[in-house]
Structure 1
Amino acid sequence: MAAITPKLKHEVKDLALAPLGMQRIEWAAREMPVLKQIRDRFEQEKPFAGIRIAACSHVTTETANLAITLKAGGADALLIASNPLSTQDDVAACLVKDHNIPVFAIKGEDNETYNRHVQIALDHHPNIIIDDGSDVVATLVQERKKQLFEIIGTTEETTTGIVRLRAMLSDGVLPFPAMNVNDADTKHFFDNRYGTGQSTLDGIIRATNVLLAGKTIVIVGYGWCGRGIAMRAQGLGANIIVTEIDPIKAIEAVMDSFRVMTMAEAAPLADMFITVTGNKHVIRSEHFDVMKDGAIVCNSGHFDIEIDLRSLKEKATKVKNVRPFTEEYHLPSGKSVVVLGEGRLINLAAAEGHPSAVMDMSFANQALGCEYLVKNKGKLEPGMYSIPREIDEEIARLKLQGMGINIDSLTEEQIEYINSWNVGT
């Protein structure tokens, strides 16, 4: 397949930032041994020779290492940002200047620029789309139907994106295979729980410098991300309240020692609220009305829809920027509500996102998921596909190897026993 170059070579803040980006990308690589081993193999085998890949992801040091790995595998890769506040401008500059990878991402870009970059990604005529929230896939299906025949498949690693893809599949409009990276064990067990758990609190502390010990914090949603945040916040001395709609997750939160109640009950009690549901307006106007004066509200879900900021803006008498990524909304009652990161992903808006060691496994899933699509081109029907178990286990094995950890293997006697039905107690 011939390369198709976009009209613009790149759109980044400043190429002069590249040296700093190089330092930071190399530092992240030290914590990403799995991706390094995959990159070494890709350089030899070139599984993506002749393949165009458009990636819509948070432009961070970890994503840079994924992009470099894909290029090492022979891909004609292009990268755009999946979130206006998550781009690290020095990283974007380095990928363009030092690795000749087209990047279209500027920290703080407006929605118009973001949507234009989505169109540029599709102008690349990708064969594979790496998506973060499924905006590129959704735009392709709605606006670029003539390009559908060019697509081998897509990979998606966010809960929000998986929900959208499943809705597309249900509506009969998903025309190609989609790899569900998000639900791989080596992704959601670690990325969602340990990555989101640590990086969310990192973003909150950087934005506010508040002491979490003694604070009452409401975690809205007790999926893997919510579990991770609750675990880490409790470890720092916070008192945790969980709100949920799923009775199984709610009882799990209770058994994990947390108080569980409705948002209406929790709203007057908390000092801080963290949303991680992937759903719309889980904190609404009626909740703002009864919050404590100075209550802090932030989001660690993919899109900025979980907090109903429109209703908050409409009722506010004044909005004051009190710190970077920290805005105080003054209400007619005399109380105020503090919103972090404009309601966007606080761990990327105010911090650096997940630690590299966690993203090592997530992006290994992305790289091997793309390779799986190429190897199985024409064999997979349109639909959702899990990362094969053997790939999941291989990533875990490589991670342990990179950490210098060995594990046991079954003996012949044990293998025979677990595969037999006629041996009892």
Structure 2
Amino acid sequence: MKSNNQQQSTTATTTTTDVAISHSSAIAEATKAEFQFRKPTTEFDDLNFKQRHRRRMSLPVTNRQSLTTATTTIMEQESIVEKMERLMASHQTDVPKTTAGIVAKIVSSLDSQAAAAAKATSATQTTTTDVQHRQKSLSPESTGKQQKQSTTTNRHRRDSQSSIPSSYTSDDDEEDSVDDDDDSDDDYESISPRLRQPKLQNSRKQTDFCVRDIRDADFGRREIEYAERGMPGIVALRESAKDDQPLKGARVMGCTHINAQTAVLIETLLKLGATVRWSSCNIYSTQDSVAAALAERGIPVFAWSRQSEDDFWWCIDQCLLTDSWRPNLILDDGGDATHLMLKKYPASIKLLKGIVEESLTGVHRLYQLSKTNKLLVPAINVNDSVTKTKFDNLYSPRESIIEVLKRTTDTLLGGHIALVCGYGEVGKGCASALKGAGVIVFVTEIDPICAIQACMDGFRVVTVEEMISTADIVITATGNKNIIIRKHMDKMKDGAILCNMGHSNSEIDVKSIRTSDLIWEKIRSQVDHIIWPNGKRLILLGQGRIANLSCSHMPSFVASITCTTQVMALIELYKAPAGRYKSDVYLLPKKMDEYVASLHLASFNAHLTVLTEEQEKYMGISKSGPFKPNYYRY
């Protein structure tokens, strides 16, 4: 009798075990199928995916957090088999002794975790909804754009209820949802960052900035660190001067291109003791990830790519004057910050110690102000310093013009005809690079000295009217306005490429082709086809703005020289004793130019020859410099 009972018990146990194992296998297979990835991914791959598909990842921060929380909870769960093996191997007193009990505990544990995750996600979404309702009640006069943003946010919230991120969904699911995602993301992106509510916060809960997406900060930080490795001069200056704090107490307002190299400049100013506020001088050239990285660090930066004109001036205004901060130095690129301060805050400009200007257009404006006695503070023209002229104006365009054309148009350059308007330093760099790529280059020029230089370099000097109808590529590099106007564009051949390598967007008369008889067709980022009634297409790059920054990147080494020059100019103005500089425009002292160059020689393993005492006396110069008089032309 006892033997029969034992046999029945053993049989029951075996049956229970078989059922449990069968049940657990079925659940494991279902779980495996549910979470099967299309390919293994890493954190870096996921970041690149988000960067490439920015429009699809533009979820509000609150939704992104709830989505990430739910996804992490699911992905961190152990499989049933793993839990079973771990529990069976353990010897804790509360572990059931039968397999059926183990399975029951595992299933119960998974159900509890899933319920907790769902509850947490639901609570987060409910809180977000309540906050938005309160904001609506507090702002009954909300604009149509804000209401549109709210609709888009709610649409994203419904999408975020899925526990698996878009990068892990199946191909069929992606195809079904791509249209809805694109529409909602377009709505969200169409709202200016300064109009979005609530304001973005960094990890320190600070809101004194305005960027496109603070979530890009980690990627932007990597860009800055990478750029810093290619900027030996400014890093050497930072290390040698950080203990002296030469800019302690300085308040620098910057209006320049915002990219990874500029971020290195900004962080150098901070380490030298300054406080800063920064905006962009170009509505297209801002690297959004870099701006986010600066904002995450607590730097008041107001910039994003593809700004409107109103946004552009609003950002500059946010940096010029606040209740608790006003600048005593301006670092300008193009003269926009100086112009707005003279126009809107004329009393405050007298409190400046000086202005540093780095572009031809901005320098021209300063000289005009000086001639009319409207320049009330000293200014240093770093655009015409030797290091800036040769590297930023000559070598940088020479490196980048080919990349601009290749990256944007995929055009075979060899054998084509290019017309370069202007043969200054920028024009020389562009013409030299194009000639090296096999392009037939023609040059336009108003200055007979520059014209004879072009002839000696092997280029034919013509007028725009002579070559506009035969040129395949037209590049402006003059710093002037209306170099290429509507009548010229009407004569250009089908498929001709038009771009600007000068400073501002005034060299190409873009307004004249924004008419009802022409069709604008966006092909890719910074590339537009303008279609004439007869079907002719003109390829316009960067909408007429500076192409090597809006369509490409500046070499870090060139930026290092330019940024180091700017820092030296700021230090000179800030530390100069009263009376050294009057309300006029000055060049950077020659000795400082030489010091900037010397900081970069080590990266080439270059060694300078030192004069003997006899040679010093013969030449009448010091072995420590300056080695050339101010009138010397390099």
**TM more than 0.5:** yes
CA contact (8 A) 1:131 1:155 kept: yes
Distance 1:174 1:202 in 2: 39
1:193 is the counterpart of 2:391? no
For the residues of structure 1 that align with 2:294 and 2:577, how far apart are their CA atoms? 29
Structure 2 CA distance, aligned partners of 1:250 and 1:335? 33
When you count strand as a share of all residues, which structure comes out higher? 1
- Answer with 39-48 or 306-315: which moved more: 306-315
Q: Please give the alpha-carbon distance, in whole angstroms, between the structure 2 residues aligned to 1:138 and 1:312.
A: 28
CA deviation string 1:372-410 (max 9, x = no partner): 001115221111111101100011111112332102122
Alignment match, 1:32? 231
CA distance in 1, matches of 2:550, 2:517: 23
1:207 maps to what in 2?
A: 408
User: Secondary structure of the equivalent of 1:385?
Assistant: strand
Match among 561, 575, 583 for residue 375 of structure 1:
575
Which residue of structure 2 lines up, in the alignment, with residue 69 of structure 1?
268
Equivalent residues of 2:471, 2:492 under 8 A apart? yes
Q: Which amino acid aligns with 2:286?
A: T
Deviation, structure 1 residue 269: 1.7
Counterpart AA for 1:114:
F
Q: Quote the residue 2:560 is aligned against.
A: 360
Structure 1 segments (4+ residues) deviating >3 Å: none
Superposed, 1:138-153 pairs within 5 Å as 138-153=339-354
Q: Which residues of 2 match residues 14-25 of structure 1 at below 5 A?
A: 14-25=213-224
- CA change 1:316–1:188 in 2 (3 A) is farther
Greater RCO (Cα-Cα under 8 Å, separation 6 or more): 1
Aligned residue number for residue 106 of structure 1: 304
Which amino acid counterpart does residue 375 of structure 1 have in structure 2?
A: K
Match of residue 254, structure 2, among 44, 55, 64: 55
In structure 2, the residue corresponding to 1:49 is in which secondary structure? coil
Q: Which residue of 2 aligns with 1:86?
A: 285
For each residue in 1:293-319, what CA deviation from the matched residue of structure 2 results, as whole angstroms up to 9, or x when unmatched?
111101111111111112223374322
What is aligned with 1:265?
466
Q: 2:600 maps to which residue?
A: 399
The equivalent position to 1:243 in structure 2, one of 423, 444, 457, is 444
| Contact 1:315-1:331 at 8 Å conserved across structures | no
- Mapped partners of 2:610, 2:573: distance in 1: 30
Q: 1:149 aligns to what SS in structure 2?
A: helix
Tell me how far 1:8 sits from its aligned partner.
5.6
Give CA deviations for 1:167-204 in whole Å, capped at 9, x if unaligned: 11111111001111101111111111111222233222
RMSD over aligned CA atoms reads 1.5
Please tell me whether the aligned partners of residues 315 and 332 of structure 1 are also in contact (alpha carbons under 8 angstroms). Answer: no
> 1:153 deviation in Å?
0.3
CA drift of 1:88 comes to 0.3
Q: Which has the larger radius of gyration?
A: 2
For residues 253 and 214 of structure 1, the distance between their equivalents in structure 2, rounded to whole angstroms, comes to 20
- Give identity over the alignment, percent: 36
Counterpart Cα distance in 1 of 2:401 and 2:545: 11
Deviation at 1:412, TM superposition (A): 1.9
More helix by share: 2
Amino acid at match of 1:356: S
| Contact map agreement 1:218 1:266 (CA 8 A) in 2 | yes
Q: Deviations over 1:93-149 (max 9, x none)?
A: 111213x21110011111101101111111141100000001111111122012023
Question: Cα 1:152–1:377, aligned 2, differ >3 Å: closer, same or farther?
Answer: farther
> Contact conserved, 2:442 with 2:461, CA < 8 A, in 1?
yes
Counterpart in the other structure of 1:283 = 484
**CA deviation vs aligned residue, 1:262-289 (integer Å, no higher than 9, x gap):** 0000101210111111111100122112
Query: In 2, Cα distance between the equivalents of 1:315 and 1:141?
Result: 37
Task: Tell me which amino acid in the other structure corresponds to 1:149.
Answer: K
* Structure 1 contact 55–130 (Cα < 8 Å) conserved: yes
Report the residue type matching 2:299 in the other structure. I
Give the AA of the match of 1:357. F
| Contact kept? 1:54, 1:79, Cα under 8 Å | yes
Shift of 1:152: 0.4
1:213–1:237 CA contact under 8 A, matched in 2: yes
Q: CA deviation at 1:18?
A: 1.0
Structure 1 partner of 2:39: none
Amino acid of the structure 1 residue aligned with 2:453 = E
Q: Distance in 2 between matches of 1:314 and 1:260?
A: 33
Deviation string, structure 1 residues 70-100 (Cα, Å, up to 9, x no partner): 00011111111110100001111111213x2
Amino acid at match of 1:49: K
Q: Which of 359, 372, 385 is the equivalent residue of 2:586?
A: 385
Q: Is the contact made by 1:201 and 1:347 (CA closer than 8 Å) also made in structure 2?
A: no
- TM-score, scaled to structure 2: 0.64
Which runs of 5 or more residues in structure 2 are unaligned? 1-205, 622-634
Aligned twin of 1:11: 210
In structure 1, the partner of 2:356 is 155
Q: Is the 8 A contact 1:199 1:347 kept in 2?
A: yes
Query: What amino acid is aligned across from residue 117 of structure 1 in structure 2?
Result: C
Q: Distance in 2 between matches of 1:146 and 1:53?
A: 17
